[in-house]
A and B are shown apart, each in its own frame.
Chain A
């Protein structure tokens, strides 16, 4: 309990006091007030809490703090450069690619990871890359259109 833990989040070194077993999700949301990473299932099954860890989309709900001490963590708030929106986020607004938007942060993270390694994905590749993200509202097609749009820009 109460160890000092250093984390690199969105390019900045941050220090918090928590047990090293704490899931990253709660450190981000509560200690660092980065609320864009959301709780959905707590067991790596829905994608709502995805963050990039060294570039890989990873469930923050299932990731203890001790495992990310020397890793580079990027949350939805840090996707864009210098506080601007990421092209994916602009495309999501343009396509109105959400209904409730609760799944959106995690989807943006998966999509950003995809575009980083495959800047011109096919529709099928986009769908497959997002299969670990659940959306209950049925915004799937708009989301896919938005990701393809971002890839074109």
Chain B
């Protein structure tokens, strides 16, 4: 037996913060069970996976589970839904909570039947002994769960799983496919006013003047709210709110802000505030064997989250209490910063999660919540819905940071890497609310008494942020990895799916191919000779097999490439093979991904996440970059920020490794880096020359060709 102390060590963090059984579930007389999780549905299918886990440990049908939307008033605080951690955090906590709940319910049922728990049979919540029966539902009693989760209940062994590991349809999709109201954008509360924010779609240093004389008498206008440079409108009709917003934008004059740098990547390299060596390994003997040294620089542009549904929030202030409905990824953090920005006590604010469109990281969801709260102050107790317009979202939501990377490595005479150096320059990858002295919410920085805009930060390793996946997973005798943190932010940045891993893996895996070529060794064989990790080797071999890598026939303009990583160096393994055709533009013909996420909770859910991640990464890699102009972000609509279309999306094949005995890890961010690298390597293979600056557009390729001739 493990000691208690040991079990405690591996206890999920969510349980430490929320130790009472009653915080996690409630059993109802009608034969259903409400599950409370602090994690939120963002289109990744988490509620379905968590329902599976709960049903499994309770030993009941998954249809009996009701997932309660996260709400600061009733849900456990599980921080932010991010970093592919929900299965690890919430799943592991629910597993223990539900196992104990089952034990408690069984004991209560046995007592009711006046038998020992050893003598009962139980199926789907019905408990039988000696011809008599009762059920979990009959035993349901609030007081039963009013106790600490003590980790004494036995967890079901993965070999006996009946619900976990089976493809399970997503619980939220039937509504969404039927066109039923489901999103925060669809909520309509009685008496609700429609709000819009009058922000210029560009940077500004202040509001000089606002002439509202032309719009003041518009029928249906309820209020124009101004606090410093924050301006919003409230109207009885949504179309009126939009008309007034447009008119006021034209009638406002803004003080210009400093323009962003022209060459962002050069600027980043000149403005690092901190330099941290995050990995260093030395072996002079190995280094002295170096016979050939290669060097290369890579860049990644600012990327937009570019949700299809712009940010939205609803707020109501009633009797000094603020109620907010938001598609935030972190409702507790949002509550804290709302209180900070509004000068309210945290316990006077409730934030409830309502689903929004896919967000892929920290977009404008939290900002819209403060916007709505500020307008609600002028709404006389009526609820207010704020909907950002398309250009609000592009101009004001944080971007995924631009990055610059320099790599250098040395090979010995046998083609082994004997020295490795990786330097990266980047802004911080998180400016989420709830972490600093000043609210990380846009409107707070524009008020009459403005709060200071906090700089984006990096979470520490091992997960890391800008330096996520910067430490190579390969075994090199010498290595040095340096993270140059840039504090000043020409463009507001925050978390975008996979954070720094996308650029780091793109650079490392591109460079591995350059080194393989210099060594005259097949790229996959070259990687395998530097990789000991058996699970990593297995996914790479699986992808190569499925792609029939060694049987590739080269034809003019076509190429294939590999990319590999273990997300955060401790999460999901993913190897990608891309097959491309390079004409005027790059076309990806086929993507093959082999993935190992340990225990698979919902195979179809994992495959859906990997497919989606691979296609999104294809879009980033081939097409996407936020354009900058003199007034900041100049990509304000889909015409300036094209994303992958249906006719451009490649077929994606996913191979899933099965490891029921290993802990489950998230799949949502595993594919991005490897896919980018696989495409870049395939393009280099097709062209015989390498493009190191993302995205791999026609212009970039043409420039690379002209440089090489």
Contact = CB atoms under 8 A, between A and B. Distances in A.
B179 A99 contact: no
Given A41-B390, A93-B174, A138-B615, A100 B179 contact: no
Interface in B572-626: 604, 608-609, 611-616, 619
Q: Could you tell me the dominant secondary structure of chain B's interface residues?
A: loop
A71 interface: no
Contacts of A133: 646
A147 to B, nearest CB: 10
Interface residues of A, number: 60
A129 to B, nearest CB: 8
B179 A43 contact: no
A40 B308 contact: yes
A101 B43 contact: yes
Contact of B173 (A18, A93, A108, A135): A93
B177 A102 contact: no
A13 B652 CA distance: 45
Given A23-B239, A38-B183, A101-B182, A141 B651 contact: yes
Interface stretch (B111-119, B398-406, B637-645): B637-645
Q: Which of A29, A135, A143, A144 has the largest count of B CB atoms less than 10 A from its CB?
A: A135
A131 B647 contact: yes
A140 B638 contact: no
Given A33-B188, A136-B306, A136-B643, A141 B611 contact: yes
Contact of B177 (A18, A19, A98, A144): A98
B310 interface: yes
B612 A139 contact: yes
Given A127-B647, A134-B643, A89 B239 contact: no
Given A30-B188, A138-B611, A18 B308 contact: no
B172 interface: yes
Nearest to B182: A101
B219 A104 contact: no
A128 interface: yes
Interface string A114-153: 0000000000101110110111111111111000000000
Interface string B379-421: 0000000010110000000000000000000000000000000
Contacts of B239: 18-19, 22-23, 26
Contacts of B186: 29, 35, 38
B178 interface: yes
A99 B43 contact: yes
A130 B550 CA distance: 36
Contacts of A96: 169-170, 173, 604, 608
Contact of B310 (A39, A103, A128, A134): A39
Contacts of A98: 43, 170, 173, 176-177
A75 interface: yes
A101 B177 contact: yes
A142 B608 contact: yes
Contacts of B646: 126-128, 130-131, 133, 135, 140, 143-144
B342 to A, nearest CB: 27
Contact of B637 (A41, A104, A131, A137): A41
A48 B387 CA distance: 15
A43 B390 contact: yes
Nearest to B390: A41
A40 B176 contact: no
Of A23, A98, A99, A108, chain B has the most CB atoms within 10 Å of the CB of A99
Given A2-B219, A100-B358, A138 B179 contact: no
A76 B612 contact: no
A17 to B, nearest CB: 10
Given A2-B219, A136-B360, A75 B179 contact: yes
Given A35-B186, A48-B308, A138-B611, A101 B173 contact: yes
A18 B235 CA distance: 14
B181 interface: yes
A46 to B, nearest CB: 6
Contacts of B637: 41, 43, 45
Contact of A93 (B169, B194, B609): B169
Contacts of B651: 141
A102 B170 CA distance: 15
B306 A101 contact: no
B456 interface: no
A43 B173 CA distance: 27
Nearest to A21: B239
A126 B647 CA distance: 9
B700 interface: no
Interface string B628-660: 000000000111000111110101100000000
Contacts of A100: 42-43, 176, 308-309, 355-358
Interchain residue pairs A-B with the least CB separation, the first 4: A36-B179, A100-B43, A101-B176, A138-B615
Interface of A: 1-2, 18-19, 22-23, 26, 29-30, 33-43, 45-46, 48, 75-77, 79, 85, 89, 92-93, 96-105, 108, 124, 126-128, 130-131, 133-144
9 contacts: A39-B310, A41-B638, A48-B309, A92-B173, A99-B612, A104-B179, A127-B647, A143-B646, A144-B646
Given A33-B188, A35-B180, A38-B183, 7 more contacts: A45-B637, A79-B179, A96-B608, A99-B44, A99-B609, A102-B183, A138-B649
